[in-house]
Structure 1
């Protein structure tokens, strides 16, 4: 019988990491989840604790990372990912993107493992190219408040490619666009959980700017499928994964109000510094290289997401 493959998922107790744990267990892997729990929650993975093919390590990857035995794959998803988190924890954000990535690339080299790095559409900054293609270098303010996250991810990509070209390490880089679904934190500051939780609480929805800025929302199951396909592909360069169905923030707020049968209205506040005005992935590479396209419409993805939030907000 073939030996089971083993995967390490950092940020494994987070929103995306926990869904990845579920997917790789379903595919028959032994899964190690690693998280320091500064933004992740054990509640996201408690349903896995009794499984013999699942192990959790409470650890900060910015410090030396040791995993006993063989390791086939590493997925690096450890990082504060929402503005409210990385503005509150700027140093930790920079450290996990730099020191943490360095530690995990070293572990991958030592174990002869393939590593997939979770980058982000934020590497494009406030883009001057629309939609965003992987060969666009971005428009990022390195010393602005968002620079701690944007530049951490840009450095992460650079050191990952350096390990690939210099050491011949098997590396993959995914650029994630706005993703949503069950297990998102209500208080993470991103527009979707903020709008839904405000609507369910009977509060007006806070819209920053005039609402004309755009986002493209991808359901978590679609993202996980893209991650899985990219990991098992032979393509080492960055790939956008996201849903190109673009919508303005104002339209999205109105959509949430209608979906939740709320009587609230949108209230407008100043746009935060360097907040991107447009977000839409060009997913040509994902389609051509991975055979991947999003399957879930926003209406389909919002149904289970709304039920999850109802259980959190209204219980």
Structure 2
């Protein structure tokens, strides 16, 4: 029987590389695509040379052409951390708009089913808690974070337009904070920032008073939810995340306990439009997909910390310092 073929954009990124692993293990022929703006070749080196994996170096904001048939597309190409999208705001908007448009055109031409990676950031600084899929959000369109939030909101809109107007099979996953091996240190997100500081013996920096909340989902659970959603028959957005909510201050104290270090907590001003609450309502995912997270936060964090401790000094430096100079003006 011929293998199903799937295109995964952002394949060298955190989630993209884990998705490549999962679909290869399920027997798919995987085409990974990335231009390494935020991705790292190291994340997919173990796949190069496999008979059912092919890598294409390409920027999805440019026209995309693939030979042969195609069954599925997973669109995970996008900067996803505040440090990244604040340094390359235009590229972030382009990958959400032009990149998604190009891939939907490819899906139409190939008659492929397409899943897009949306985000809890479409809810902005929410006035509804926990966040359900029918909540429209509270987003500042012209604030610093708007380049990412609006890119994802537009991405959802054009995907549903192609679904309704062209009859394309589409799926939308709204991803809440996810963590695990292959994250980049100090990319502006809570977990890599805290772990990076712990590894260097620095005090942990909390923005605001630490009362804001986040809900962290281990990568294996996230990938399982995405996998099930792709193969479902549901076309509207679905939250995939862990509803176990914790304040940033309490989480920082958990990190100190986990790492066995003696750091203090230091406080800085809260960034503009930083959301005060993040907790997914996963009622729909439970009902529709039979999915809910299984990995406890302390267990997942221990695995993640051990991953970062295993990196060489060169790998740690590379993880912390990403060069965006060639993309700044694009």
Task: Pick the TM interval, shorter chain.
Answer: over 0.9
Per-residue deviation, 1:50: 1.7
**Aligned residues of 1:119 and 1:153 also touching (Cα < 8 A):** yes
Structure 2: stretches of 5+ with no match in the other structure: 317-330
Spell out, residue by residue over 1:214-246, the C-alpha distance to the aligned partner (whole angstroms, 9 max, x if none): 000000000000000000000000000000000
1:260-279 pair list within 5 angstroms: 260-279=259-278
Alignment TM-score, normalising by the size of structure 1:
0.99
Could you say which residue in structure 2 is the equivalent of 1:96? Answer: 95
Spell out, residue by residue over 1:80-121, the C-alpha distance to the aligned partner (whole angstroms, 9 max, x if none): 000000000000000000000000000000000000000000
1:110-121 pair list within 5 angstroms: 110-121=109-120
Within the alignment, does 1:29 sit opposite 2:28 as a pair?
Answer: yes
RMSD (Å), alpha carbons: 0.8
Structure 1: stretches of 5+ with no match in the other structure: none
1:1-315 pair list within 5 angstroms: 2-312=1-311
Per-residue deviation, 1:313: 6.8
Structure 1 runs (4+) deviating above 4 angstroms are: none
2: CA distance, partners of 1:43 / 1:257? 29
2: CA distance, partners of 1:83 / 1:194? 11
2: CA distance, partners of 1:121 / 1:300? 23
**Aligned residues of 1:173 and 1:239 also touching (Cα < 8 A):** yes
**Aligned residues of 2:258 and 2:302 also touching (Cα < 8 A):** no
Per-residue deviation, 1:188: 1.1
2: CA distance, partners of 1:80 / 1:187? 14
Alignment TM-score, normalising by the size of structure 2:
0.94
What is the number of residues matched between the two proteins?
A: 314
2: CA distance, partners of 1:206 / 1:140? 25
